[in-house]
Amino acid sequence: MRNLSLSDPFDNISHFGDAYLFNVKKRSDKLINYFLIAFFITGLFLAGFYDTWNIAIGVGGLTLLAYYSVKWAFPESNLYQYVLSVCFGIFMAQFIYQMHGMFEMHFFAYIGSAILITYQNWRLQIPMMIFVVLHHMGLNYLQSVGYGGVYFTTFDYLETQTIIFHILLTAVIFFICGLWGHHLRKYNGTQLAMLSYIEEKKQHQEVLEALNNELKISNQVAVDARQEAERAAQAKSIFLATMSHEIRTPMNGVIGMTSLLSETSLNDEQRDYVNVISTSGEALLNVINDILDYSKIESGHLDLEEQNFELHKCIEDVIDLFTKRAAVQKLDLLYEIDHNLPETLIGDGFRLRQILINLISNAMKFTQKGEVHLCVEQVAVDENVVSILFEIRDTGIGIPEEKLSKLFKPFSQVDSSNTRKFGGTGLGLVISEKLVNLMHGAISVRSKLDEGTVFAFTIKAIAGTEAPQATVFHDPAQNIGKKVLVVDDNHTNLRILKGQLELWNFLPTICSNPGEALEMLLSAANYDLVITDMQMPDMDGVELAQKIKENKISTPVILLSSVGDESKHKYPDLFSAVLNKPAKTKQLRGVIHQTLHLQATANQPQENHPAILKADFAISYPLQILIAEDHPINLKLAMKILHKLGYDPDFANNGHQAVEMYTGKNYDLILMDVLMPEMDGLEATKIIRNSSGVQPKIIAMTANVMSEDKNACFVAGMDDYLSKPLHIGSLLQLLSGTSIERIQNKSFDGLLDDQENAV
């Protein structure tokens, strides 16, 4: 940055004065050389009148020699200027003598005095003044007493009054010349400083103008760059929205048809193929969602919701997603939640769930054996704002120290080689970090190679005021004195279960070896309950339960098994209950209470998983449905789903047909695609909403998933939104809700008609 400060010109007068006087001295010395030559030549010229050549050459030469000798001997001193002043007086006396006292020769004293002004030093007038006074007084006296050859004046002598008056006038002239030199010195320095200031100001003005021009250019460049960035961002958003739509449209057919196929009779091999297709489709959909989320975050268009949600349910829902995967990988998936945390929080539960899914998925991806452990702790409470710490620990392969810096860079992988074992977009952690920052928290990672990794993040949320769903109350006082033996080879799980049981007033005993647990039961058969893991070395949970029964020990046993384990069906008499790992807190507490206090020894009934698509669904939720869809595969999929539900929907291939069919028939529900030829879904919706006919419920069914696309649907008059690929559960929920709403409206209208008829 240039320094544009202007100095006060009066602060620098001394500085400018010294420089100015140096220039004056240099210029005056040069000028004096010409004057001295002129004076010497004048002496030679006057010598011709009275043949005074010896005086002209001798006195004039000695005078010049005296001046230049002193100047040469003392170059840094001003002494030669005072010598010069005397030299001008000597030249005056020489010229008076050479012209035999001619009065006009006295004027050379005034000429010398005027020449000395060029040095702008009033003190230089004094030596010549003294010389003139001594010369006039002395020579006038000599001539008045009759001393011949003095040639002071053409008269015999001058009266005293005349000589005094003459000297006074000479002094006045010398004083005026000295005063003039003094003022020149004084005010020329100031003027020079002002001129320098003006010049500096002018230079600064030019610099400011140059900077202003540069600023204008920079501003214009910034404006152009911003506009270019906005155009690029807009182009990127359009590209992403277009690509998302183009990918989701065929994906809707793939995933939807796969869901329909899974509802048919399949052998094991065929069902395996269907699961592969479904899993691959969901994986591709997750990649698309990650890219869209990243784009939203980078553009600042992602806003968090502020809604009540249950923290326990949010975490347990995430854990449920990975229980089957953990069973397949033979990993212990564990979680523990600080009991001090409030049940309900106000925040974005969906985005918190997204963060946890990303981190737990990564942990399981890089963990071949051992455990993945989620720990949730309350860090601090400031009024009603709760700071929460989440830690996801794994016993996986770990991350090299030099690779940690790559984790939170977009599209970056710890292993980016062509032979890498673990895939992914490299966006999951980036999105998680951005979401954590939006929640006023921070995320960190620490890892040791071949030992495992810990991802930790904090968020801030408001303690919720809305109570969670009511649950069965279990009086902790009923558990006082109840002894529970917990058997598990995983020490983390033992610690978690021990803490939970102590919180519920039980007296837990933990044991990591089934053989030792059996000995403990035989030696002191006073335990009220046994909780055992299924997968343990040397002796599994079934073998332990069998030995307990063989030894006539009546202590009830609860088995913790992995998803898909069939022990509860194979050995119905061994266990009081069988729970999937990790056991949910409320579920475990309820089963323990039921086992101990309600004396329920039978296994919990097997959950039925009826087919999702029931042919009698339309009977329970009758609707007249119109599908507006131009894509043949998506249309076929929607028709198939609705047929399987017992509906007989009509269809239109574009918005024009949809509007025409609406005018000819009263529909309860229109499933409206957005992008269609001739007339899109938005325009068709506006026309329907502006008509006077019975208004149906219109639900957008589109692959456009950007927030602005959703807003456009609602602005056009649509009631709800379904994104492609279709989620059958969401569709069923909308169908049932719409049917109930229409039935209630018709009942209300019928009641009004009855009242009018009665009146």
pLDDT recorded at residue 421: 47
Q: Are 672 and 679 in contact (CB under 8 A)?
A: no
Residue with tokens 């529909």: 667
Angle of helix 125-144 relative to helix 79-98, nearest 10 degrees? 30
Residue 552 sits in the same domain as residue 656: no
Which pLDDT value is given to residue 44?
A: 92
Residues 670 and 564 in one domain: no
Please determine, for residue 1, whether its predicted confidence score (pLDDT) is greater than 60: no
Whether residue 153 sits in one domain with residue 21: yes
Q: Which of 649, 658, 663, 660 minimizes the C-alpha distance to 628?
A: 658
For the chain, percent helix, then strand, then coil, each to nearest 5? 60, 15, 30
Please calculate the CA angle 598-603-605 and round it to the nearest 5 degrees.
105
Contact 253, 634 (CB under 8 A): yes
pLDDT tens by residue, 624-668 = 999 999 888 888 888 888 888 889 999 999 999 999 998 888 899
The angle formed by the CA atoms of residues 568, 360 and 364, to the nearest 5 degrees, is 70
Question: Which DSSP category does 383 fall into?
Answer: T
Instruction: Please choose, from the candidates 401, 404, 408, 460, the residue with its C-alpha nearest in 3D space to the C-alpha of residue 432.
Output: 408
Confidence of residue 554 (pLDDT cuts 50, 70, 90): confident
> Can you tell me the distance from the alpha carbon of 5 to that of 155, in angstroms, rounded to the nearest whole number?
69
Report the CATH number that the domain containing residue 580 is assigned in CATH: 3.40.50.2300
- For residue 437, pLDDT over 70 is answered with yes
Which residue has tokens 């980078």? 298
Same domain, 188 and 111: yes
Confidence at 18, pLDDT banded by 50, 70, 90: low
Q: Which of 625, 576, 629 is nearest to 604 (CA)?
A: 576
Of 569, 597, 625, which marks where a domain is finished?
A: 597
Mean pLDDT, residues 401-421: 60
Mean pLDDT of 453-478: 74
pLDDT for the residue 419: 37
Is residue 135 pLDDT above 50, yes or no? yes
How open is the CA angle 466-736-724, to the nearest 5 degrees? 90
Q: Residue 446 pLDDT more than 50?
A: yes
DSSP annotation of 369 reads: S
If asked whether residues 448 and 340 sit together in one domain, one would say: yes
**Contacts from 716-723 at CB under 8 Å and sequence distance 24+?**
716/681, 716/682, 716/683, 716/685, 716/686, 716/689, 717/685, 717/686, 717/688, 717/689, 718/672, 718/681, 718/685, 722/671, 723/248
Average pLDDT of the residues in 476-493 = 84
Domain assignment present for residue 293? The answer is no
The C-alpha atoms of residue 527 and residue 547 are separated, in whole angstroms, by 16
Q: What integer pLDDT is reported at residue 568 of this predicted model?
A: 58
For residues 399-417, average pLDDT: 66
CA 90, 91, 97, 103: dihedral to nearest 10 degrees?
-110
Give CA 119 to chain center in angstroms: 69
Region 494-503: mean pLDDT is 88
The percent of residues above 70 in pLDDT, for the chain, comes to 80
Higher pLDDT residue, 704 or 41?
A: 41
Q: Measuring CA to CA, how many Å separate 530 from each of 43, 527, 554, 557, 595?
A: 140, 7, 10, 5, 11
Evaluate whether 376 touches 311 at the Cβ level (below 8 Å).
yes
End-to-end CA distance of the chain: 88
Token digits for 467? 């109570």
Domain that holds residue 713: 617-758
Q: Does the structure show a pLDDT above 50 at 605?
A: no
What is the torsion angle, in degrees rounded to the nearest 10, for the CA atoms of residue 8, residue 10, residue 11 and residue 17?
Answer: 130
Question: Is residue 295 one of the residues assigned to a domain?
Answer: no
- pLDDT bin (cut points 50, 70, 90) of residue 72 is very high
pLDDT tens digits for 696-736? 999 998 877 677 778 889 999 999 988 877 778 888 888 98
DSSP string, 15-79: HHHHHHHHHHHHHHHHHHHHHHHHHHHHHHHHHHHHT-HHHHHHHHHHHHHHHHHHHHH-TTSSH
Residues 584 and 665 in one domain: no
pLDDT > 70? residue 41? yes
Say yes or no to pLDDT of 690 above 80. Answer: yes
Q: Do 445 and 523 share a domain, yes or no?
A: no
Final residue in a domain of this structure, among 597, 632, 655: 597
Q: Higher-confidence residue: 393 or 729?
A: 393
Same domain flag for 690 and 712: yes
**Total domain count, the chain:** 4
Confidence (pLDDT) at 206 = 86
Note whether 4 and 100 are within 8 A (CB). Answer: no
Q: Is the dihedral of CA 585, 587, 588, 593 positive or negative?
A: positive
Q: Which of 261-265, 313-317, 323-327, 748-752 has the highest mean pLDDT?
A: 313-317
Residue 256 lies in a domain: no
* Average pLDDT in the chain: 80
Residue 584 maps to a domain: yes
Domain containing 447 — which CATH number? Answer: 3.30.565.10
Residue 115 lies in a domain: yes
149: in domain: yes
Task: Name the residue with higher pLDDT: 136 or 609.
Answer: 136
pLDDT value, residue 669: 92
Radius of gyration of the chain (CA): 54
Structure tokens at 586: 């409320």
- Let me know if residue 702 belongs to a domain: yes
Q: Report d(CA 330, CA 20) in Å as an integer.
A: 95
Backbone angles phi, psi at 593, to 5 degrees: -60, -45
Percent of the chain with pLDDT over 90: 15
Mind listing the pLDDT tens digit for each residue in 302-329? Answer: 677 788 888 988 898 888 888 888 888 8
Residue where a domain stops, chosen among 202, 226, 259: 202
**Higher pLDDT among residues 410 and 499, named by residue:** 499
For residues 432 and 417, the answer to whether their CB atoms sit within 8 Å is no
549 with 416, same domain: the answer is no
453 & 508 share domain: no
Residue 248, pLDDT score: 67
In a domain, 97, yes or no: yes
CA separation (Å) from 640 to 61, 247, 256, 556, 655? 132, 21, 10, 49, 21
Half-sphere exposure of 603 (CA within 13 A, CB side): 17
Distance CA 128, CA 456 (A): 97
Give yes or no: residues 171 and 39 share one domain: yes
Residue 603: the pLDDT is 40
| Residues sharing a CB contact under 8 Å with residue 151, sequence separation 6 or more, in sequence order | 96, 97, 99, 100, 101, 143
**Scanning the structure block, which residue is given the tokens 């030894």?**
551
Report the alpha-carbon distance of residue 507 to residue 528 in Å, rounded: 10
Structure tokens at 94: 């020489």
Same domain, 47 and 193: yes
Q: What is the pLDDT of residues 508-517, one digit of tens each?
A: 988 888 888 8
Total number of residues shown for the chain: 759
Alpha carbon distance 423, 481 (integer Å): 52
